Every structure is written in structure tokens, then in C-alpha cells.
Amino acid sequence: MITELPEFIAGHRRLFVVTGAGCSTDSGIPDYRDSDGQWKRTPPVTYQAFMGEQATRQRYWARSLLGWPRFGQARPNATHHALAALEADGRIELLLTQNVDCLHQQAGSHTVIDLHGRLDQVRCMGCEARSSRALLQQRLLDANPGWETLQAGIAPDGDADLEADFSSFNVPTCEVCGGVLKPDVVFFGENVPRERVAAVHEHLQRSDAVLVVGSSLMVYSGFRFVDAAAKAGLPIAAVNLGRTRADALLSLKVQMPCAQALAFLLDGAKTQ
């Protein structure tokens, strides 16, 4: 196993890399699933509930008010830097991330598609205006004095473990049209934009192998690309501590922490 992953990567020039929550746990962002691919916690809010229920939006944004500061301050770890080094070496066709933290870009990766969007941006569901999540944070604080003093544990993707009476929480609306504001990420029950899916498939067709890093692939939106790669005959390797949905499709599986498994990429970069 110590040499198999370096050999797999060395043997392919156009890697299609798929990353998940396991890449960002060393940056202090919790993941959702256990080693068997099951939920560790209550599943995330659905698109239908967020759009259809004011109470759900109050709960979401109240928890986000508390969770955003820690999420926004997260920084890339050794896994992100290792994959950036691999791209710098000209070996990545595409880095497809299911994460919404933009840590790959902060580490220096450029050929990135954020499959599920970015949490640092906010989208108006009425007029499609985009705005900064950091700016919305100040609006949330101004509209809800005292909420920032509540104690809550950190949760995945900028959420916080807070249970309270959210009925008094004031949710800002779009400053352009008064519409509903939603983080510019794909919620459960929401479709990935078709043009994004098409762009990913174009990169996949130019790739010669797939490398999955830190993902159980339990969500179909990410798994479908690995499944398509298998049907096209591409070899697939995965670095993940637990079970993945694609285990039966893998040519190689490395059950190690991501940073440990990819450390050789940084070692190589230091000696060049």
C-alpha cells in the first residue's frame, strides 16, 4: 500500500480527482458520515424545507450566524496542499470537489469545479443576485443582537449545534428585490446545475484515471462521475478511511488519513 498509490499516480498523466469532507477535517471542519458511510448526525436541511418554510430559514440562518465565523476562518491543510502540488506538476485534468469551503483554491489549485457550490457566496432566489456571505454575516448580527453570544458546537459546512426558539430570529432578505436569500450551495433535494454537470463530464472524457480523496461517495451527485468512469474503463483509486459507495469499482483502495496517504506528493515538491 505504501508504494501502490504513488505508482498509481505516477502511471497517469490526466487524473480526474474527486474530493470530499475527509479532505477538510484536518482544517477543523467536521464531516457528516462515519466509517460505514452512515450519517453521524441529523441529515442537512433540504431545499424543499428551506424554500417552503420560514421557520426552517430562521433555524438555518441562526445556526449559520454562529457557525460561519469558524468555518470562514478555516485554512487549507496538508491534503489540500498535496493536491495543489499535484496540479502544479501538470498531472490533474480536473479537481472536482464536493466540499463548499474553497480550501482547494486557497491552497493553490486552479482547475477546480465546486460541484455543490460555495458557502462564501449567497444567492437571491428571486433575482439571482450574488453577494458575499461575510457581508450577510454583519446583516445577521445587526438584525439579531445577542444571538452571537449563544454557545453552540461546531457542525459541518458552517452549521452549528444549536437548539432554541428560533421564532424571533430575523432573516434578512435580498437588498435588491426583497427575495429569499440562500447560500449558493446545492442543498439535498436540489439539482446540480446542468451546465456544471456537462463541464465535469467533458473533463472526465479527457482523463485517464480517477482518484477519490476523502469521500464515501454516498451522495449520487458525486458517485455518478465515478460510476461513469468505471463504465468507460478508467482505473479508479480511492483514499478513504471507511466504506465507499464505489468500493466494487476500485482498482486500489488506501484506508489511511488523506494527509498521510498523500504526504509523498509534498515530499516530492520539497526536493524539486
Instruction: Write out pLDDT tens, residues 45-96.
Output: 999 999 999 999 999 999 999 999 999 999 999 999 999 999 999 999 999 9
The pLDDT of residue 272: 46
Q: What tens digit of pLDDT does each residue of 257-268 get?
A: 999 999 999 986
pLDDT for the residue 34? 55
Q: Model's pTM, two decimal places? A: 0.93
pLDDT of residue 186: 96
- Give the residue-averaged pLDDT of 122-137: 97
Q: Which three cell numbers stand for residue 59?
A: 433555524
Question: What pLDDT shows up at residue 271?
Answer: 43
pLDDT of 248 strictly over 70 = yes
pLDDT tens, position by position, 180-215 = 999 999 999 999 999 999 999 999 999 999 999 999
Task: Determine the pLDDT at residue 35.
Answer: 60
Pairing of strands 181-185, 117-124: antiparallel
Per DSSP, which regions of 162-261 are E strands? Answer: 181-185, 209-213, 236-239, 252-254
Q: Is 209 helix (H, G, I), strand (E, B) or coil?
A: strand
Return all residues near 19 (Cβ < 8 A) that are at least 6 apart: 83, 95, 96, 97, 98, 99, 104, 212, 213, 214, 215
Q: Which range has the worst mean pLDDT, 16-20, 73-77, 147-151, 249-253?
A: 147-151
Res 132: pLDDT? 96
Q: What is the pLDDT of residue 270?
A: 54
Which pairs count as long-range contacts for 134-139, CB under 8 Å and 24+ apart, including other chains?
A: 134/72, 136/172, 136/181, 137/65, 137/68, 137/69, 137/72, 139/172
Average pLDDT over residues 139-149: 96
pLDDT in tens, 33-42: 556 656 556 7
pLDDT number for residue 33? 58
pLDDT in the model for residue 269? 55
Would you name the residues annotated as active-site residues?
Answer: 116
Average pLDDT, the chain: 93
More confident residue, 159 or 26: 26
What value does the mean pLDDT take over residues 100-124? 97
